[in-house]
Structure 1
Amino acid sequence: MSMKQSEVLNLLEWSGAILKGHFKLTSGKHSDQYIEKFRLLENPIALDQICSSMADLYKDKNIDLVVSAAVGGILLAGGVGRYLNVKHIFSERVEGKMLFKRGFNIDPGQKVIIVEDIVTTGGSINEIIELVEQYNAEILGIVSIVDRNDKLKIFKYSYETLLNFPAQSWDEDECPDWLKKIPIKKPGSTGKND
């Protein structure tokens, strides 16, 4: 059974994943809150609960493959794949572009779900969607642990999240003065906006 949003929030708080300060997100936006997903993912009990809840959303969909992006998504996709008893593969960013490496492949017609950790703008997911579509696979859905945009319609496929966490974020030129006074931290990096 999928976790309630309050249970996911409690797990994030318990694991110390919700940070306060001035953060530059992977999307390039600035925020006063950051979710350090690895505080959650490093705990096997929490990881198992999250993956079980994600898999539960698709248990009756006859999924063939779980796809994610490196790095945080690898743990999630592996766990979700284990619960659904299917393979998982991940994309990697090479010279600014999402690619499948390591001999990963998708067969035409395979039923795929895309797993993500934190969604802010949806940019990385949309890149993965484009990549998966090149293989003529059938994307049955997208699922994330956290959606910072309150599930805005940013994907053309069905989208589920375990937790809506609509934290404010601003473009650099719109960053409020009070936040500019706090030193910027840039936790984690996908190489997307380095």
Structure 2
Amino acid sequence: MACNEAIRAAKLAKIRAAVQSYPDFPKPGVLFRDIFPIFQNPYVYEDLISVMEDHIKEQHLQVDVLVGLESRGFLFAPLLAYNLGKSFVPVRKKGKLPGEVVSIKYGLEYGEDTFEVQKHAIKPGQKVIIVDDLLATGGTMKAACELIENLKAEVLECITVIELLDLKGRERLNRPCTTILQF
């Protein structure tokens, strides 16, 4: 076990080192954490996917569907679903999906938005993990959980690459949540 923990710690250190910080972006007082440098090094990206995949294998062998949230959740969830032999379902902003959809409105800092999922993409009783890049205030993730539960599926866990601890988004979720990096 100690060897596996050391390997995981080394992977996490490489992932953390790849994340870049930009003060005062997109507005003064905000420290933006940029995940895109992770994709510039395929080995770091592989490490990130590996850490996420190992967590899912250890905790949720019974998962049926991995949901990715628009748009950066799409960078992780499809690959995880493929590697695990599970289904991938996108949750998108209003008007982006064809066919019959189920939607949910949620509040933003300055207004509201709407998430949609194709009605028959997730079946009642299926076990779902929701994947995104960032947990900040928790509003987006909370809405995604409610949307999936409106389809009578079970949200096993929410997984994000980064959690901004000072925004306390985890407190808005009444579901398990795992984050790879915390700032």
Check whether TM > 0.5.
yes
Deviation of 1:124 after TM superposition, in Å, equals 1.1
Structure 2, unpaired ranges of 5+: 96-112
1:98 to 115, 133, 151: 115
**Residue of structure 1 equivalent to 2:177:** 159
- Give the share of equivalent positions with the same residue, in percent: 24
**Residue of structure 1 equivalent to 2:15:** 11
Deviation of 1:30 after TM superposition, in Å, equals 4.3
Code of the aligned partner of 2:14: N
Does the 8 A contact of 1:37 with 1:72 survive in 2?
no
Normalized per residue, the structure richer in helix is: 2
Does the 8 A contact of 2:125 with 2:154 survive in 1?
yes
Superposed, which structure 2 residues align to 1:36-185 within 5 Å?
A: 36-60=34-58, 61=60, 62-94=62-94, 96-101=113-118, 105-149=121-165, 152-165=170-183
Code of the aligned partner of 2:87: K
Distance 1:42 1:67 in 2: 24
Deviation per residue, 1:46-99 (Å, 9 max, x gap):
222112211211215211000011211112001211232111111111272001
Deviation of 1:11 after TM superposition, in Å, equals 2.3
Over 3 Å counting, the alpha-carbon distance change for 1:45 and 1:104 in structure 2 is farther
Deviation of 1:104 after TM superposition, in Å, equals 6.4
Distance 2:40 2:172 in 1: 29
Distance 1:154 1:39 in 2: 29
Code of the aligned partner of 1:22: D
Does the 8 A contact of 1:115 with 1:142 survive in 2?
yes
Structure 1, unpaired ranges of 5+: 166-194
Over 3 Å counting, the alpha-carbon distance change for 1:104 and 1:68 in structure 2 is farther
What TM-score do the two structures reach when normalised by structure 1? 0.71
Deviation per residue, 1:131-180 (Å, 9 max, x gap):
10111001111111111116743311111111111xxxxxxxxxxxxxxx
Deviation of 1:37 after TM superposition, in Å, equals 1.6
Deviation of 1:8 after TM superposition, in Å, equals 2.7
SS of the counterpart of 1:108? coil
What TM-score do the two structures reach when normalised by structure 2? 0.75
Code of the aligned partner of 1:100: V
Does the 8 A contact of 1:140 with 1:158 survive in 2?
yes
**Residue of structure 2 equivalent to 1:21:** 23
Does the 8 A contact of 1:81 with 1:87 survive in 2?
yes
Code of the aligned partner of 1:122: G
CA RMSD of aligned residues (A): 2.5
Does the 8 A contact of 2:15 with 2:47 survive in 1?
no
Aligned residues: 157
The one of the two structures with greater contact order (alpha-carbon pairs below 8 A, sep at least 6) is 1
4+ runs deviating over 4 angstroms: none
SS of the counterpart of 2:165? coil
Over 3 Å counting, the alpha-carbon distance change for 1:20 and 1:9 in structure 2 is farther
